[in-house]
Amino acid sequence: MQTPASQIQVARQFLLAVARGEWAVAYGCLAPEVRQGLSVQQFRVAADPLYQQAKQFGPTISLYKLGYRLRDTQKPQPFVAFSFKADTVQAYPHFQLDVTFRDSTARQILGFGLVPLVAPPK
């Protein structure tokens, strides 16, 4: 019996598919309720900033951090964040590739984004 993929593995597969422009593969990683409200074309538009940065930094990514976001009245939301490996040689990465899940057992992606990072003040 094969062990199911972890959230980190699912997030990584999704981000690599976007970085390579494999839109159908990446779209298939999204949770059903996300796909229901987001056409493939809308997904491509939403994922294009990540795709464009992958063209600049290359498709290799590294785990940056994982955890839970705590919101005021909502339950904690699990997230996995990666950075472009070429960007990690900088003093501080430019971007965080963010993927969120419904809960700690979910293996389908609820949200994603390219989060610009600002270097901490010296």
Digits of tens for pLDDT over the chain (122 positions)?
Answer: 678 889 999 999 999 999 999 999 999 999 999 999 999 999 999 999 999 999 999 889 988 888 988 877 678 889 999 988 888 777 778 888 999 999 989 999 999 999 888 766 66
Q: Which residues, including other chains, have CB under 8 Å from residue 89's CB and lie 6 or more apart? A: none
CA 72 → CA 27, 57, 75, 88, distances in Å? Answer: 30, 35, 8, 32
Structure-token pair, residue 86: 């070429």
pTM for this model (two decimals) = 0.88
Residue type for 83, please?
A: S
Token pair for 99: 């993927």
The sign of the CA dihedral 64, 67, 72, 73 is positive
